[in-house]
A and B are shown apart, each in its own frame.
Chain A
Amino acid sequence: MINLFLIGQPIQWGSFAIVVGIMAAVALVLGVCIMLISKLCFIKEDPRIKEVEGYLAGANCGACGYAGCADFAKALVEGNADLSACSVTSAHGKAEVSNILGMSITGQEPTVAVVSCAGGNKCRDKYAYQGYGDCVSQNMLAGGRKACDVGCMGSGTCVNACPYHAVEVEDGKAFVNTDLCKSCGLCIKACPKSLIKRVPVSAKYYVACSSQCRGKDVMNACQVGCIACGKCQRLCPNGAIILVNNVPVIDYSKCTNCGACAEGCPRKCIKLVHDEPKAK
């Protein structure tokens, strides 16, 4: 056989046979061992984990913070991880996974995050905070610098937490740009004051205050805080808004987005969910 590669030697059938022999032996031994051990330690496991893992990228890159796709899949099925954390899996993969675990996510209406506080620079500071940059550390110092004990400090922990850069700090308080928000929940976990809540995308209004104090205390701390006067509760035609320990809570299943409460509110703290950020 003319040697078209200019080098090399005639095929050594001897070593060829040895190679095939070794490979066969190794494959056989390993295959049998794997099967035996998998038989030996078969553990009942939620079949969906295997399925979900099938659709994940499988790159085991660890970007989601979990140890690998298997671990992430287990967390997804048990419900304490969110699909958006994995940037590697293709959209098709994510669609598949969400319809396997579908009923838990897409069952309700898709949601969007909002910051239920309107204070920011309008809320008085108890002290001037000099120190480590984010709200978590500031919150350790006498509950943060704001006079209102649930006021947003605007130091941007939620801004950092959001992988989609949907959260910005404006006028001293955090603001969610609902077009970018994927409702992945990372900001909700990050906020030390847990001010960020999920509201359905279809909702038009949300209560931009969570202070549980009465009128005089609120006015003393913040110019735009809800003084729990109860006007919105009386104005609402279908009783969708009720005062729960001085904080108005909207029941979005009854709310028809009529806006009566928003106009009637003397402090204007019921705001638009899909509001344009003023800075733009």
Chain B
Amino acid sequence: MKLKRFKEIALDGVVRQNPTFKLVLGTCPTLGLTTAAISCLGMGAAVTFVLICSNVIISLLRNIIPDKVRIPSFIVIIATFVTLTRMVMEAYLPDLYSSLGIFLPLIVVNCIILGRAESFASHNPVGESALDGLFMGLGFTVAITLMGIVREFLGNASFMGIELWDKNVFSIGFFSTSAGAFLTYGLFIAGFTAIQNAIERKAQAKALKA
């Protein structure tokens, strides 16, 4: 598999087609979980694991699954891996399991996984699908962890659970409410698109000059 294709998938996954900021997919956990950065990391890891496995299996079966039952079979595969993660997490990481709570079963209906499964995995070979799953998952994890850190820092003055100073002394409670989540997410997307436009414009200016 050529290095260029690898770079392309990697860049696509994390930066150019970042699922959370560019495609705005998988927003439910992004808004719901980012009050605590650790659960974001846990969620990111779970989503990445499920994404890689389901992409691999789906790209393996892509020619066998007839179109009529495409969505049900994809969903069954994804649900199996999610239940698997849930069992492993409940057995070995109980506190992460309880901090994710409702959002763990919701990975099944997470738009990223089904989106990537249908748009990428069902048209590309196994190797690329696995990579795409990995980098898309990475992009998702980086994005929500960044948001998690910011919201946790502003919301209840702690970083990854370690309390920096007494919450009542200084903390903007607004950021740990649901309204705060929307605002942070909006500003993050705005920042991301602004940076991306700037890069594009610089690249175009360079191209025009050359």
Contacts and interface: CB of A to CB of B under 8 A. Distances in A.
Contact present between A and B (CB < 8 A): yes
Interface of A: 5, 7-8, 30-31, 34-35, 38, 50, 56-61, 63, 87-90, 93, 165, 179-180
Interface stretch (B95-103, B111-119, B176-184): B111-119
B7 interface: no
B115 A59 contact: yes
A93 B115 CA distance: 14
Contacts of B111: 59-61
Contacts, number: 51
A50 to B, nearest CB: 8
Contact of A61 (B23, B68, B120, B197): B23
Contacts of B122: 58
B119 A93 contact: yes
Interface in B85-115: 91, 111, 114-115
B169 interface: no
Interface in B52-93: 67-69, 72, 91
Interface of B: 17, 22-25, 67-69, 72, 91, 111, 114-116, 118-120, 122-123, 197, 204, 208
Contacts of A88: 17, 23, 115, 119
A38 B118 contact: no
Contact of A57 (B69, B72, B115, B208): B115
B25 A5 contact: no
Nearest to A56: B119
A143 to B, nearest CB: 34
Contact of A60 (B24, B69, B115, B204): B115
A42 to B, nearest CB: 11
A38 B68 contact: yes
A34 B72 CA distance: 11
Contacts of B208: 179
A165 B197 contact: yes
A165 B118 CA distance: 30
B76 to A, nearest CB: 8
